[in-house]
Each structure stands twice: as C-alpha cells, then as structure tokens.
Structure 1
Amino acid sequence: MALEQLPASEFDSAELDDSLMRAAGSPPDGMVQLLTPDGERTGHELYGRYAEDVDGDALRSFYRDMFLIRRFDTEATALQRQGELVMWVPLTGQEGAQIGSGRALAPQDYVFPTYREHGVALTRGLELSHLLRRFRGISHGGWDPREANFHLYTLVLAAQVPHAVGYAMGMARDQRLDPSQPAGATVAYFGDGASSEGDVHESMVFAASYDAPVVFFCQNNHWAISVPTEVQSRIPLANRAQGYGFPGIRVDGNDVLAVHAVTRWALEHARAGKGPVLIEAFTYRMSAHTTADDPTKYRVSADEEAWIGRDPLSRLEKHLRATGAADDAFFASLAAEGDELAAKLRADVQAMEPPTFEESFAGVYAGPHALISEERAFHRSYEAGFADTEHITEDNAKEAGA
C-alpha cells in the first residue's frame, strides 16, 4: 500500500517527510542535496566543498557512466527474458547512488558489493560482461576481486557487511605496521532490506568498537522486495548510526553530485582513522527487485510516476544543457556508444561456455583438497559406468536400416 494512502497518524515525522518529498520533489530536512530535480546546482555548508572541483568535464563523465550502466542494465534484462541469463538484478533508478559513490573511491579502497552494484563495478574498471558470468550460470564468481579491489557479488543477504568490517580492520593494522602505504577504507553496500539483518547490526558494533575504516553505504530504494521501508524502520535509516556512536548521513540518492561529495567526506573520515560512517542514499528502485519479481503485485503506479521526475539521469541532463556543458551531439554520441556496448555484451554472453568437468572441481579450493580429489574420482567412475552412447546410436541406426 502506498504511503499516501495511509493516514498520517500512523507514521512518525520521518515518514511524513518522505511523503512530502514524494509529493513535492523537495528533500526532507537534513537530507543533503546539491542538484535539484530541475537541474539547479545548490550548496551545502559542510559537504559543498567536496563538490567544488567537480566541473563540467567531470559531470559529463558522471552522466556517461550513468547512461552506459543503464543501457547495460536494459540489455541484461533483455538477455534474461530471452533465456540467455538465468536471472538478472536490475538497478534502474539507482545509478546516481552507485556512480556518485563509486567515483569517490581511491585505488586502494576495497568494495564489498551485494548483487546489484553494477554501476560501482563500472567505476572500478571491471569488464561488464564478467558480471554476467554468474547470472549465466557458468561461474560462482566471474572476476578476480584483487584486480580492481571489487569483491565478488554476495547473494546471501548482508553477508558481505561483516566481511567489509573485518577487511577494514586488517587494512588499518597493515597501515599501522607500514605507515608509508596509503591509508585505505572499505565500502559495504547493502539495501534497506538488508539493514534489518543481524549481520549489519553486528558489523556496526565491531566497526565502532575498533574504529574500523569502513563506510556503510545503504541504498534505501524503498522496497525490500515487497516490504516497504516504513515497515522496516520508524526512523530514517541514517539515524541508526547514532546508536553505535558514529556519523550517519542521509543524502538524496538520485543526486549524483551530492552522493559523490558525501562519499568523499566519509572516505576521508574513515581513512584518517576516525572510524566508520553510515550513508543512507535515499533513492527508488524503478524496476523489479529481480527478473523473477513482479512489483505490480505490491506497488502502485502513482509512486513510480512521482519518482520519474527525480530520475538521476534526467536531473543531470537538465543541468548540463542549462549550463552549456553538453549539447545534442554529446547525447547522440552516447546513444551510439550505448548501442555498441549492448551489441558487444550480447556477443560476449552468447559466446560464454560452461566450465569443463575438470574446471568445475578445480575451482572449489585454491589448492589440492583430499575430499575434492575423492569426489572427482567418484564422478569419473560414475561416468565410466555408462555405455558408449555414440556407439549404441550407431548400432540402432544399422538395425533400423536392416
């Protein structure tokens, strides 16, 4: 049921703020915004300076990343519908949160994603087709996390969050032992639904206790599959940070500039040894939770239509056009580039082959393992017990001819 359909008495002030934002397009008090839905650039007392060096060139590159990852998402969805992928997890509507935060990362920082951070993967330089290997059903991973400091996708809800804290604690220890190396931080991405998991609570306790250099980045897209945010929390999710003793920031997740600025501040804070930060990127999932989901069963079209006007791409496009930072030729060239990306992606996916027998067993552990060797031997023996089907087929054909 949509928030507007329920009486105001059933919600606290935070939820009413969300309702007002949906109705009027303005951010609730305390939410950081540097680019309005109309494309007007504004300031902020604290975080504004972290966006001062973001000029027209940088904003065009932000737009390019958001445009291409949306085109990638559209093509991946089509590939799943056509039977080329087992499942797909769309991100449409969350491009601003992902590109804005991803572009704030330094090379030494390490990302722990869920299964939807395709935009962050793009900013880390991953080959996008590699993201589809798992969804093609041919790999448990798809890439080497060490190559771009971007961990494998985590399908178990919130399981990546304690990993991010532990890794951050290790990074802090290594930096203390060798101060010559650049200080780094981890970023743990998760959704509003995962924020209700115990893993997130325990991770924040540990991070606060040990001042771990980790940024908890929650993309509040309003729906934990079919459960709305107001059922999950009576307060803005960013306010939870107060209970653990570290900063919490609520940012307009459809404002790529504001997300970028806030994440830069948070990473600077964490790398300086000041402890963790929680960012709540207030956004909206415009598409289904996955291609196995039907959002029309629990969402009303009025909510979706209200959020269209705050689309992260159209917002930045308005600004680029109004300031003369981009023209029709720029957007036309991007459209062509997007089509090329989609064509290459489709060709790459259709060329993917399942692993061989030996590859399936070899990829379980990093080195030899007695149990795996035993299982491999059993499977070989099992396969050897079958008759030669090719020979049988030939004999049957001869008998039929006789």
Structure 2
Amino acid sequence: SEDGLADLEFELSWDGPDGRHVDTRRVFGVNMWRDFFPPGLDAALLGKNVGETVSIDFAPGALVEDRHAVHVHEIPLAAFDAASAGLADPRPARGRVLPLGVLHKAGIGGVYGGNRRPFRVLDVGAETFIADLNHPLAGTRIRLSAKVLGARKKRSEFGGRSRDFIAELTDGPGIQARAGGAPTDFFVEGWSARAVEDDDPTFYSVPRMAVHLDRRALQTIRDLYAELLPARGAILDLMSSLESHLPQGRKFERVAGLGLNRQELDSNAALTERVVQDLNASPALPFADASFDAALCTVSIEYLTQPVEIVREVARVLKPDAPFVVTFSNRWFPPKAIRVWKDMHPWERLGYVMELFLRSGAFTDLHTFSLIGDPRPDDDAHIRETDLSDPVFAVWGKRKG
C-alpha cells in the first residue's frame, strides 16, 4: 500500500546485438509513497502480495532518454585527459566506456573534471575521437519486472530521503553491449600487464585456504550453476581451488579441477580429478575434444593473460550445446589481476568477458547477468566496509554445434 514499505527485486532485461542481458537489483525498505518509480510501476505494485511479480515493457525512449545526435561529439585527442581519471592508457580505445571527466578540456557544457558518469568511445582517428554521451540503453526496448519479497507498515514518515529508481536501475546496464556491434578494443598495448609479473606457479605455491566472496554471493553463484549446469555429467572447473561452488545435493559423474596449487585442489572434495597447470604459460588444456558437458570459471577470469586462446580451448573440450559459465565480482587479488580489468567500469567487465566469447567464435546463445543489493551477512569480515553483499556478475554461452 502507499503507506507501506516494500522489499523488491527489480529485474531489467533487454536484448543486445550479441546476446540477452538480465540485470537484477534487490532493494529493501522501498517507500511506496515517497520514492520515484519508472512510469506505471508503483501503481502496478500497489495491492500485490509477497511473491507476486509485475512487469512493464518500455519502448525506446520511455525509460531512458532516446538516442540523439547532439550527444555525439568529435573531440581532439589533445583534449583527452586520461591522467585526471587515473587511467593507464593515454589514448581512448574504440568501444571502451570511460568516465566523463576525461573530457573536461573539450568544452562540452556540464562536463567537469572528476565526473564519473560513463560515456562510450565510438571511434578513434589520427587526431580526433568520437565520444557518445547518450545513455548506454538509449534506443533499447526494455522489460522491467518487480517481485515483492516483503511488505510491512511504516512506523512514521519523518526524515529520510526519496530514491529515484529510474536512475538507480539504469545505472550500469547497457554498458556490457558492444558499441554498434563492432568489437571493443580492450587489447591495447599493456592490457595484460600485472603488478607482480613473477612466475605464477612460484607465486601461488603457498596455499590460500580462503573463499573470496561472502557466503550470500557464493550462494547466488551456486543457484546460477544449479540452473545452468546439466543434472549429471562431466564438469570442468577451470582455475579451481579449494571449492567449486557446485549446487548442493547435485551429483556429477566427473568434476575435473584445473588450478595452480595442489594443496588447494586436494582440499576440494567435489573434484574427481585434479590437474596443476599454469594456463598463462600453457593455455592448451590436457583434455580430449568434446569430453565435458559443462565448464565453469569462478572469480578467476581476471587473471588470464591469454584469455581468448583459453576460451577457444574450453570450447574444444566441450560437447556441442554444452554451457561455459564465467562468474566474477568486484573483488580480486590485485597483484595478479590484468591491468585492463582494474580500469574497467563494473558492467564493462561483463562486456570484456562477452568479448572473449565472441572473439573465440565458438559460442552461441550468449547471456549476461548481474545481481546487486543483497545484505551482507552480519558476521562477514567486511561488514564494516559495506553492508551490501558482494555483487555477482556472470556471462555464459553454449558451445556451437
């Protein structure tokens, strides 16, 4: 009701030129009277019970401003200020998403240094580049759903602030798609450099017996794997460690774990076989063609220095129509993460992983997924840093037949 608070799961879904995209945000304590909703959504939610879902389809221009040529600018390369945003690359790259503040010298109205709003680089020439300041979802047909997770009466209406859910729900989605369907130039000089270039097997020789995300985020990953992995069969756990995060209660005839630390792999009870291999030195997988029913890579894709080659290898060892699922978050191990990963907008990392699938030429039916907004467990070690659970991002596709 209008005098109540609601816990809602918003799902924004849309089709891009290369795949299907679903971005989910959970919000708790939504003020049905004070907060701002996308057109028609608040009215559709009133009177709904816990567990019910409403959906609205928005034509291009109805949820975010439609695309306009006035928001596309040709800018001299001399006006590109990478240093102001701490970017490693001194030049823009085609298709990349960058913070608007790097254009503060270009004389565009309303643009100031430090502005983190994203814009897209459409093209780069010898002396100028094309900057697209349109919203990344401009021109896109969008379906927005809201599921009622909980509802309760307000105690009072004093204090607080209004939330703009149009702005919140569309902040990030759209960035994962290629610009104009053309490949994004993630792979400029130095893209795979790492802070510590020491030999990987030596660096990882000391076991790290720890999971890297909070347990609520890991449960989201397990739930996703439960949906996407076959009920039984052979699973490849790429860049494995002490846990594979497979759905609980599910049995698989084979789970092959490939990682860098023998002790970590030996501690993983889900594995039926274990392989120690440095993929950055030897991307060829030691498995026969078409020998797996699914493959997964959990919070590790950001450490690969030859990722396209490895995605092709994963395709080789998968059976036709078998899924390859890559999951990640906003936490990683800084010394070994590649440079381009650290410079990217969170939703641009979805685009980077999609680019790996697309450049491999071996996958179809591509999807991206994001989930943010769950509460962090009270006993989690990082609860003082943020009360939100680690976000979960995923990309998957099926091996072409």
Task: Report the TM-score range of the alignment, normalised by the length of the smaller protein.
Answer: 0.3 to 0.5
In terms of fraction of residues, the more helix-rich structure is 1
What TM-score does the superposition give when structure 1 sets the normalisation length? 0.34
In terms of fraction of residues, the more strand-rich structure is 2
User: Which has the bigger relative contact order, CA under 8 A and spacing at least 6?
Assistant: 1
Question: Which has the higher Rg, Structure 1 or Structure 2?
Answer: 1
What TM-score does the superposition give when structure 2 sets the normalisation length? 0.34
